[in-house]
Amino acid sequence: MAITTLDPRTALVLIDLQRGIVAAPTAPYPAAEIVARGVQLADAFRAHGAPVVLVRVTTAPDGADAAPGRTDGGPAGGTRPEGWDVLVDELGGHPGDIVVTKRNWGAFYGTDLDLQLRRRGVTQIVLGGIATSIGVESTARAAHEHGYHVTLATDAMTDLDAEGHRNSVERIFPRLGETGTTTEIIELLGRTHG
């Protein structure tokens, strides 16, 4: 379903736009394009007085706070270079932004994201970031389960591979919310909050 509306209390939530993640190869869009579109969205939301949430993922050096459980992919984590979990410079430096640190794929579990949004009366979130089929999709699923209206900025997200991105955009996201481009969302934001 294409984007139809933005609630008066809509927040932007950008997932894992941090140094170590944007340095990885991504598809179908390069990470630099996702950062640029994230900046466009964040600037528009800030200009309209709407909340901007920047989510970052980190783990303890020893991996003690990693999600438990066995997977075919093996243990997550490992040694990370210093600063890998620092938000990209292009999005930093805005004292009004909300920064959420997570230790899982999704931004709701084990964080204060829901509390931060509800305190501000937020009823809808616009999502973007990296990776579409991991952090973005996990957060979208939880947002839907928490009762938020969900809009997904499909050109402001990318994945580790194009097929993972396509599957989320075409098969999963239509069941969780509405989708739109960065331009469509910014235009609708201007009409809603103008």
pLDDT at 59: 80
* Token digits of residue 171: 């098969």
The per-residue pLDDT for range 127-174, each reduced to its tens digit, is: 999 999 999 999 999 999 999 999 999 999 999 999 999 999 999 999
Domains of the chain: 10-60+83-193 (3.40.50.850)
- Distance CA(27)–CA(157), nearest Å, equals 9
Do residues 178 and 3 lie in contact, with contact meaning Cβ atoms separated by under 8 Å?
yes
pLDDT at 71: 64
Which residue type occupies 142? A
Burial (CB count <10 Å: 0-12, 13-18, 19+), residue 45? buried
Do residues 185 and 12 lie in contact, with contact meaning Cβ atoms separated by under 8 Å?
no
Q: What is the dihedral of CA 89, 112, 116, 8, to 10 degrees?
A: 90
pLDDT at 74: 59
If DSSP codes are grouped into helix, strand and coil, which group holds residue 83? coil
pLDDT at 1: 57
Ranges in the chain, pLDDT < 50: none
Q: b/e string for 51-84 if b means 16 or more Cβ within 10 A?
A: bbbbbbbebeeeeeeeeeeeeeeeeebeeeeeeb
